[in-house]
Amino acid sequence: MPPKVQESFREQMRSFPYAQILVLAFVRFAEPITFTSLFPYCYFMVRDFGVARTEAEVSVYSGYLSSIFAFFQMLMGFQWGRFADQYGRKPTIFIGLIGSIISSLILGFAGNYWWALFARAVMGSLNGNVAVIRTMLGEVATERKHQAIAFSVMPMIWQFGSIIGPLIGGYLSGNDTRYDFLRPLVTAHPYALPNITVALFVLACLFVMLFFLEETHFKHKYRHDYFVEIGDFILRVVFGVKPKDRPWHNTRSSLQSRFKNQSHSANEESPLLEEGDNTEDQPQPLYSQEARRSVHRRPSNSSDDSIEGVGTVLSRRQSRALVRAYSMHEEGDEDNASWSELLTPAIFYAIVCSFIMALHMTVFEEFIPVFLAYEVARDETGALASKFPFKISGGLGYTSEDTGALLSSTGVLGVFLIVVVFPYIDRHYESIATYRRFISIFPFLYLVIPYVVFFADHPTASHLVVYSITCLKTLAVSMANPQIFLIIHNCSPQKHRALVNGATISVNALARCVAPAVWGYLMTWGEKGNIAWLPWWSVVFLTLLSIYQARFLRDSNDEDEES
């Protein structure tokens, strides 16, 4: 990977917007908890509903639960992006969190498969938070040196949620409990307890969002936010922290004072009309450009106003970033987007790469638990039914607790990689080069997955192989995912970033809709025909395609720097 200009971690983190990134991270935490808590018990829940006639068909119906979520997310993702651009980021996140609470409770108390399917559809329909949070990260971390770290929050929180979610789903599901007061509940509804726990956690995220998350939309951030004022009161009284001035407090007074000063200066020093001026032909603004810039200027403690953060000499890229940050936006600009403006080649290729990664990662995340939960296939003599290299069937007989422990432990690794390893990689290597290097790991992983069944009689070796595969997957995703997010963000027009991110989420949702449905059938077909390698080796083709597609990636900032 070609190196880039080295910068110390202290310099990179100078003026970093810690507070808002922390709040966004906590809000983002709700989704992986909700999403991954289903994985350990999905196979057993579908089996208990009795909708599948054979064990092999459980994969198909498990795939439907994931597909319908992604299908409705695909339908609504773009609309939620447009909604966020029109009405603001916080209202969109509020609706998404409420939807997660309601759908989790419906899923937990579902009496049959169709109610569970309905719950997943509701969750997908009301889930527009991923695109909005991704947009807000870019609007909070406006300096280029901060953006890679800010965007790494998304996969880091996903990995951290991948620790907690599977633990909740694996250890709280089922009809057995040590607490007598919970026995009637878990006996009647074996999968209610993990979903009640998830709903309570999402409710906590909802209150954090209301009281401490600042609106970042260039127009709506000046709207009076009474919930943030309550949060400021809590910070001041409970924690002794002095909140910063809010935009709706100082915007009007700033304009009035500037206008007053300029009017006073004009009366004392300037003639009413310059010689040759024609006020009818050249109407004058109500207030000066300096006053206009003050409307959209951040508070004085913002990283954008820090001389240390900007630097004494501005590069062309920094200058353009500042112009974008401080320029006035005309009302209605966000509604005039055209596909030709949004789908530039840079954005198109980046979204395609994101789509392919979402496709094969969905296959991994959805069907690794199912594949490992299959019973060990044996012949009449008790030996393994699978024969190297092409006759492969069965799994390793994992329980929901085994799967939860596997996903949680690899989630711990993911957090370590993003917190410790990713900042070093980002400081020393370019985004596109990092992305290309780490996605080359995927073909090898999918090639060897089917062969773990040959370690079924050797538990220690099988655990070592399975954990090695999931750890390598975590490494590749942790390093590649933030980079593709950052590439898409940098290629997007500022006024349409929520729209582009919404379109990206819709495209990725299409991948998560197609993958479970198609590969659910491939899993069933492969299991029945003793060719369980088929679904995994077909994914190898997708990963090779993504490696080829990555050759066309371009970072708009790099292009700007060259021009």
| Those residues with Cβ within 8 angstroms of residue 268's Cβ, 6 or more apart along the chain or in another chain | none
Sign for the CA dihedral angle at 549, 479, 399, 445 comes to positive
Predicted pLDDT at 303 = 36
Q: Are 525 and 376 in contact (CB under 8 A)?
A: no
Q: What is the greatest pairwise CA distance in the chain?
A: 106
CA distances from 230 to 233, 246, 480 (A): 5, 12, 39
- How distant is the alpha carbon of residue 396 from its chain centre? 31
Task: Give the SS3 label for residue 531.
Answer: strand
Phi, psi of 490 (to 5 degrees): -70, -25
Asked whether the whole model's pTM tops 0.85, one would answer no
Say if residues 481 and 357 touch (Cβ distance below 8 Å). Answer: yes
Residues 6 or more apart whose CB falls under 8 angstroms from that of 174 comprise 41, 44, 186, 190, 400
Give the count of alpha carbons within 13 A of 528, CB side only.
13
**Which element (helix H / strand E) includes 123?**
helix 113-125
Q: pLDDT at position 339, please?
A: 61
Between the alpha carbon of residue 470 and those of residues 209, 407, 477, the distances in Å are 32, 8, 10
Residue 387 phi/psi, 5-degree rounding, is -130, 125
C-alpha to C-alpha distances, 224 to 140, 220, 221, 415, 544, nearest whole angstrom: 19, 9, 8, 36, 50
Residue 393 has what DSSP assignment? -
Q: What is the pLDDT of residue 312?
A: 37
* DSSP, residue by residue, 37-68: TTHHHHHHHHHHHT--SSTTTHHHHHHHHHHH
Q: pLDDT of 19-75, one tens digit each? A: 888 888 888 888 888 888 888 888 889 988 888 887 778 878 888 887 888 788 778
Buried/exposed 150-183: b ≥16 CB within 10 Å, e otherwise: bbbbbbbbbbbbbbbbbbbbbbbbbeeeeeeeee
185's CB contacts (< 8 A; 6+ apart) are: 192, 193
Q: Which residues are CB-neighbours of 282 under 8 A, at least 6 positions away?
A: none
pLDDT of residue 211: 92
The tokens for 515 are 């993958």
Number of CB atoms found within 10 A of residue 389's CB: 10
Say what the pLDDT of residue 232 is.
87
Q: Rounded to the nearest 5 degrees, what angle is found at the Cα of 216, between the Cα atoms of 210 and 217?
A: 115
pLDDT at position 101: 94
Residue 32: the pLDDT is: 85
Between CA 359 and CA 366, with CA 364 as vertex, the angle to 5 degrees is 90
pLDDT at 129: 84
Domains defined along the chain, listed by start: 13-249 (1.20.1250.20), 342-562 (1.20.1250.20)
Q: Residue 379: what residue type?
A: D
Where helices occur in 152-225 by DSSP H, the ranges are 153-172, 183-188, 192-212
pLDDT per residue, tens digit, the chain (563 aa), is 555 555 666 766 677 787 888 888 888 888 888 888 888 888 889 988 888 887 778 878 888 887 888 788 778 877 887 888 888 899 999 999 999 999 999 999 998 999 999 999 999 888 778 778 878 887 888 777 777 777 777 777 877 787 888 889 888 888 777 778 888 888 889 999 999 999 999 999 999 999 998 888 878 878 888 888 898 888 888 888 777 777 776 655 544 554 455 555 444 444 433 444 444 444 444 344 444 444 444 443 333 333 333 333 444 444 444 334 333 344 444 455 566 666 778 888 899 999 999 999 989 988 888 888 888 888 888 888 888 888 888 888 888 788 878 887 887 888 788 778 887 887 788 888 899 999 999 999 999 999 998 988 888 898 899 999 999 998 998 888 888 888 887 787 766 777 787 788 778 878 888 888 788 888 888 888 888 888 999 999 999 999 998 888 877 644 444 44
